[in-house]
Amino acid sequence: MKRVFSGVQPTGNLHLGNYLGALKQFVELQEDHECIYCIVDEHAITVPQDPEQLRKHILDVAALYMAIGIDPKKSIIFVQSQVPGHAELGWILCCNSYTGELSRMTQFKAKSGGKESVGTGLLTYPVLMAADILLYDTDIVPVGNDQKQHIELTRDIAIRVNNKYGDTFVVPDGRFMKSGARIMALDDPESKMSKSAENEHSRISLLDEDSKIKKSIMRATTDSDGEIRFDPENKPGVSNLLNIYSALSGKTVDEILANQQWRGYGDLKKELVAVTQEAMAPIKRNFEEIRYSEELIRVLNDGAERANAIAEPVMARVRDRFGMGIKL
């Protein structure tokens, strides 16, 4: 069975972009893969976090993982900082990567641009991500498009180490959704939907009330020509709505367009509101049941133990290849 690893940062309520780009894949893959899903709190602290909020968000993401259908009997769910191998391998890989390649990462440029003082963690963040993946001999990494460059870097580092020290790491592949890989902001379809955008109507959070879902979608930016067609370049707003519709319903955009009788963008939006509310309802219900349960803590502790049992022999192999420590 192929091994899958992916992670999500506990930095706020997850949104439709996270769900359609990554989380939906997590659920699909667990049926016939060995899946490991992480809550990456060591990544979250690359920017300042309020400790109380961070702890809350860790448990929120864990509960959301289960609420969307990740089954802890099939998949491992755990918190990154509970497995020491991530930080240890992160350091070893830092010593095998270059500041040049790291400063070329688009996300680093976006997050550090215009700032006088930039945290070192922001620069080395993709190396920690490479460590997360390589620590488990991962074959497949399901993510959204915005992580493509980080997966390429992970592959480069793995190949570099393998060439220098002999076969050490499995070289992983990214896995991307057809219609959900890049969900754009509702208020600005030129930027991706994100947890941190100021306008709350730029995104749909997985726990949004029905009234909020309706407001955000009905206000979504479109264009003035009134024609409903899929054309991301010239009609990014309408195309984003069609994309979301397609990813949520499992129908292709062509199928959706062939069967519609909309008279304008308002009708498309109303239907999308209904489709979104229906898809989010069970997630919210499940979340309420799980979030404050003792089971959640049990799942995370058990997940950390299982993750560590896979990571430790890989770390032993890495230390051995590099000649670190003493041989027992």
Bin 271: left if φ > 0, else alpha if -120 < ψ < 50, else beta.
alpha
Question: What is the CA angle 228-233-235, rounded to 5?
Answer: 25
Residues within window 21-50 making contact with ligand TYM, judged by CB under 6 A:
21-22, 40, 43
Span from 144-152, 162-170, 240-248, 278-286 in contact with ligand TYM (CB under 6 A): 144-152
**195 flagged as catalytic:** yes
Q: In Å, how far from its chain's centre is CA 128?
A: 15
Q: How far apart are CA 83 and CA 245, in angstroms?
A: 38
- Catalytic residue from among 2, 24, 56, 111: 111
- Residue holding tokens 């070893």? 92
Question: Which residue, 138 or 222, has its beta carbon nearer to ligand TYM?
Answer: 138
Q: Which stretch binds ligand TYM (CB under 6 A): 4-12, 250-258, 287-295, 298-306?
A: 4-12
Side chain identity, residue 48:
P
Q: Does 241 bind ligand TYM (CB under 6 A)?
A: no
- Quickly count: other Cβ atoms within 10 Å of residue 279's Cβ: 20
Binding of residue 140 to ligand TYM (CB under 6 A): no
Stretch 115-134 residues interacting with ligand TYM (CB under 6 A): 129, 132-133
Its sign, for the CA torsion 288, 294, 297, 301, is: negative
In the complex with ligand TYM, the residue whose CB is nearer, 260 or 275, is 275
Decide whether 18 or 277 has the Cβ nearer to ligand TYM.
Answer: 18
* Interaction between residue 179 and ligand TYM (CB under 6 A): no
Residues 6+ apart with CB under 8 A from 126: 102, 105, 107, 108, 149, 150, 153, 154
Residue 327 bears catalytic tag: no
Under the binding rule (CB under 6 A), the answer on residue 172 touching ligand TYM is: no
By CB under 6 A, name the one of 17, 85, 189, 303 that touches ligand TYM.
17
Provide the β-strand partners of residue 37: 6, 77
Catalytic residue list contains 56? no
**Taking CB under 6 A as the criterion, which residues in 263-282 touch ligand TYM?**
none
217: nearest Cα among 263, 282, 266, 290: 266
The residues that touch ligand TYM, with contacts defined as CB under 6 A, are 5-9, 17-18, 21-22, 40, 43, 129, 132-133, 141, 143-144, 146-147, 180-183, 192-193
Active site positions, annotated: 111, 192, 195
